[in-house]
């Protein structure tokens, strides 16, 4: 929290992606194609999209922009199916990769912005939590309980102290 328990920020209003002037029209078409809803568009000057309560703005610039990771993650359903359907028309960086928390793949827009598509797999997270729920140790009693303040690692109890 901010000053004396108050937050200065109410919510994240918008994420803005810079795109080269010469790629602006292509980027507008790209974000339409992948399913963001157009909200506002000034030809060649600004484009705004929304998905749920998140706004994404496209801002053209004369500067040459190198390829860059945005840190933006967009949730999708059935990521592998979407990858297969769009792989000939969208630039994916690699193949979908699976982790306990979900399936991810990076994607690049025509302006060089790289972001991630993500499909959560809550059932895998629940299975992992069930597996580790009974494991506690004397050094760290929260180990295996799934608490956010607990280090969820194989070695949270220290070498040889894990209890089953």
The count of domains in the chain is 2
User: 126 versus 73: which is more confidently predicted?
Assistant: 73
135 class by beta-carbon count within 10 Å (0-12 exposed, 13-18 middle, 19+ buried):
middle
Residue 133, both tokens: 């729920």
149 class by beta-carbon count within 10 Å (0-12 exposed, 13-18 middle, 19+ buried):
exposed
Q: Would residue 163 count as lying in a domain?
A: no
The pTM is what? 0.69
User: 42 versus 8: which is more confidently predicted?
Assistant: 42
Same domain for 73 and 142, yes or no, is yes
Same domain for 111 and 144, yes or no, is yes
Which CATH number fits the domain that encloses residue 144? Answer: 3.30.720.110
pLDDT per position as a tens digit, 116-155: 999 998 888 788 788 877 665 555 555 555 555 555 554 5
pLDDT per position as a tens digit, 13-67: 899 999 999 999 999 999 999 999 999 999 999 999 999 989 999 999 999 888 8
Same domain for 84 and 141, yes or no, is yes
Same domain for 57 and 70, yes or no, is no
Q: Would residue 3 count as lying in a domain?
A: no
Residue-range definition of the domain harbouring residue 119? 66-150
């Amino acid at each position: 929290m901010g000053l004396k328990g108050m937050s200065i920020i109410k919510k994240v209003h918008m994420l803005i992606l810079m795109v080269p002037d010469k790629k602006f029209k292509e980027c507008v078409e790209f974000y339409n194609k992948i399913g963001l809803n157009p909200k506002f568009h000034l030809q060649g000057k600004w484009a705004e999209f929304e998905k749920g309560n998140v706004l994404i703005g496209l801002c053209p610039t004369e500067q040459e922009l190198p390829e860059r990771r945005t840190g933006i993650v967009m949730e999708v359903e059935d990521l592998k199916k979407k990858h297969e359907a769009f792989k000939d028309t969208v630039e994916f960086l690699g193949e979908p990769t699976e982790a306990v928390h979900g399936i991810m793949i990076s994607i690049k827009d025509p302006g060089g912005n790289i972001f991630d598509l993500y499909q959560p797999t809550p059932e895998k997270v629940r299975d992992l939590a069930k597996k580790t729920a009974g494991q506690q140790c004397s050094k760290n009693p929260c180990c295996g309980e799934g608490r956010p303040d607990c280090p969820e690692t194989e070695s949270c109890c220290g070498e040889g102290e894990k209890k089953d």
